[in-house]
Structure 1
Amino acid sequence: MATAQATDRNPGELKDVPGWFPPLDQLLFTWFLERQETRGFGGDLVELGAYMGKSAILLGHHLQDGEKFTVCDLFGGEAPDGANAAETAKSYSSLTRQTFERNYLAFHDALPRVIEAPTSVISKEVEADTCRFVHIDASHLYEHVHDDIGAARDLLLPDGIVVLDDFRSEHTPGVSVATWEAVLNRGLRPICLSTQKLYGTWGDPEPVQEELLETLRGRDDCGLSVQHAAGHRLVRTRAHKGMQPPSFPHSRYYTAPEPPQPAPQGTAPTSAPARPRPRPSSRVRRIGADLLPPIVTRALRRSLARGAQKS
């Protein structure tokens, strides 16, 4: 039977899945989810905007017994308005539901609940006060992000975690406005900031921040700073060069690289053969031909020839 192997279409590792999910955010997702799990904090998971499935694959790995995981994305379908349609055509023209599902199933036995629709439907599809973790990474337009944040607040349990992607990218000012508006006017309390994402809660951020600070201070692969603004403590994190993501299970298509084969025992390493040194008689002949009179040269050659025959 043929063995399944990773290809351009079948990822072998999480890093093979296209998408914007750097090692630092993989670390933070894992830390927040595992913290909830070790404390017996259960609840459903939701992702708004999935792209090719990279972050969804990690989220699905943390699904506990009795929990549900819901993914909502247009997947190239009909957008709710002209601005959203233009954004989708520009940035996500290659995205299809089939690609997402193929990538996800490379790592999991079953798909999450997939809703192929605008994220505005999520409040009707998922019950309020049932979720422990919501990741928002869909539209970059202010109106849509504003509504996605409102939906996340309704869906989350007390002390649940919301993650907002692209909150400070130069090409997504609508996300920045909606994010900081939620912090200043809608009760969202930041826990920490990465280069791409804001992690927050509508509960009490202080206990989570203290534990996170203790964890990150013990690492040498990321930087850490604390600032205060508008009554909020902001924990800023950044990855150092060469930071590696946390370990993650391989996909069903993964093939381990073959180790280098050792040289057979008892065989000496081959080397280039040494260049032979010219025989002394050759040097004599050259010198004689160049410097001595012809009669002397002929006599010298005869003498050398007789000596070679005797030897």
Structure 2
Amino acid sequence: MTTTQETTRPPQRLDDVPGWFPVLDQVLFDWFLSRQEASGTRGDLLEVGVYMGKSAIFTGRHLQPGESFTVCDLFEGDAPDDANRAESTKSYGKLTRRIFEENYLAFHDALPRVLQGPSSVVPGEVAPGSCRFVHVDASHLYEHVHGDIRAARDLLLPDGIVVLDDFRSEHTPGVSIATWEAVLNGELHPICISTQKLYGTWGDPGPVQEELIEMVRGRTDCHLSMQEAAGHRIIRLKSKGMRAPEFPPSRYADAPDAPEAPGPTSAPAAPVTPGSAGSAGSVPRRRSRVRRVAVDLLPPVLTRALRRAMR
């Protein structure tokens, strides 16, 4: 899995942007955001932790007129504590704000609102109850994730959607603890889980779950199972060869090659078979056979006359 840009060539397509955004989650982001738009839900978008911009680029395609999109990341800035500094240096040492902005502008005409700093700055910059969709993918440390989830609850609309990344990865136990703590103690209702993300709401999960189940049952490329845990219905989804939703190429994508201009029209050549009239060398071979027969059977006078006539 690529974690740094190894070339300065601008991204041609979304897959060229380094990062972790599986196809199943692209399908789910697209479905949740499109469902909100189809129902007339309006509200801002927020992503906390953007890395090099892959999921932010995707989310930005769903920005509606009058809405705002805010992203927050440390980038190359100072971390608020030693543990966060060590985490950032180890996993995101090559990330800079310039790289994120260049990647984003390859697909969009304008940048989102960019907050450079720890996720703790978000509550003071984003209005409470203003967001319809919040994606949390910043620090994996329990203290930070706990604060990010609490902020997401305050910033979301009543039926807004929160997406929590890495909630069950083996290297992120702090995210798991903070996530399930919010479910058990903070009234966060899980809607569904993918391989690495939990989708939830502090509103009523029933209607959106029913629509999601109907959508998935209409597909052949997604496995669905359901479990009950601590009074919550949890929908588990797994890709079975899913294809990513259509996403326009970047402004740097190579233009398709122009079709080759047709050459001058000419009649097709007749097929050539050995020994046919059009076969190369057929006439000389026939003349050779005639000449040999004449030499063997005719008187010399006639043979010389025949040779002159054939020449």
The TM tier, using the shorter chain, reads 0.7 to 0.9
Distance (Å, rounded) in 2 between the aligned partners of 1:267 and 1:184: 78
Q: Is residue 2:44 matched to residue 1:64?
A: no
Distance (Å, rounded) in 2 between the aligned partners of 1:14 and 1:123: 30
The 5 Å alignment of 1:287-302 reads none
Aligned to 2:144, the other structure's residue is in SS state helix
What code does the residue aligned with 2:89 have? A
Q: Map Cα deviations across residues 78-129 of structure 1 (whole Å, 9 max, x no partner).
A: 0000000000111001111000000000111110000000001100010101
Aligned to 2:15, the other structure's residue is in SS state helix
Q: Give the C-alpha shift of residue 31 in structure 1.
A: 0.4
Cα RMSD after superposing both structures: 2.3
Distance (Å, rounded) in 2 between the aligned partners of 1:256 and 1:216: 35
Q: Which runs of 5+ in 2 are unaligned?
A: 1-6, 275-291, 297-311
Query: What does residue 173 of structure 1 align with?
Result: 173
Distance (Å, rounded) in 1 between the aligned partners of 2:141 and 2:47: 17
Q: Give the C-alpha shift of residue 257 in structure 1.
A: 4.2
Q: Give the C-alpha shift of residue 218 in structure 1.
A: 0.6
Distance (Å, rounded) in 2 between the aligned partners of 1:34 and 1:253: 27
Distance (Å, rounded) in 1 between the aligned partners of 2:294 and 2:92: 89
Higher relative contact order (CA 8 A, sep 6+): 1
Aligned-pair identity in percent equals 68
Distance (Å, rounded) in 1 between the aligned partners of 2:268 and 2:183: 70
Q: Map Cα deviations across residues 143-180 of structure 1 (whole Å, 9 max, x no partner).
A: 10000000000100100000000111111111111111
Deviates more, 1:255-264 or 1:63-72: 255-264
Q: How many residue pairs are counted as aligned between the two chains?
A: 270
Query: What does residue 237 of structure 1 align with?
Result: 237
Query: What does residue 25 of structure 1 align with?
Result: 25
Query: What does residue 15 of structure 1 align with?
Result: 15
The 5 Å alignment of 1:90-169 reads 90-169=90-169
Distance (Å, rounded) in 2 between the aligned partners of 1:187 and 1:230: 11
What code does the residue aligned with 2:27 have? L
Distance (Å, rounded) in 1 between the aligned partners of 2:268 and 2:40: 60
Query: What does residue 247 of structure 1 align with?
Result: 246
Q: Give the C-alpha shift of residue 9 in structure 1.
A: 2.9
Q: Is residue 2:257 matched to residue 1:258?
A: yes
Distance (Å, rounded) in 2 between the aligned partners of 1:9 and 1:95: 16
Distance (Å, rounded) in 2 between the aligned partners of 1:309 and 1:168: 97
Q: Give the C-alpha shift of residue 261 in structure 1.
A: 6.4
Distance (Å, rounded) in 2 between the aligned partners of 1:52 and 1:182: 28
Q: Give the C-alpha shift of residue 267 in structure 1.
A: 6.7
TM-score (norm 2): 0.82
What code does the residue aligned with 2:11 have? P
What code does the residue aligned with 1:155 have? L
Stretches of 4+ moved more than 2 A in 1?
Answer: 256-268, 307-311
What code does the residue aligned with 1:23 have? V
Change (3 A) 1:179 1:267: farther
Distance (Å, rounded) in 1 between the aligned partners of 2:85 and 2:293: 96
Distance (Å, rounded) in 2 between the aligned partners of 1:51 and 1:25: 16
Q: Map Cα deviations across residues 253-297 of structure 1 (whole Å, 9 max, x no partner).
A: 1124438869978778xxxx9xxxxxxxxxxxxxxxxxxxxxxxx
Q: Map Cα deviations across residues 2-36 of structure 1 (whole Å, 9 max, x no partner).
A: xxxxx853111111111100111001001000100
Aligned to 1:187, the other structure's residue is in SS state coil
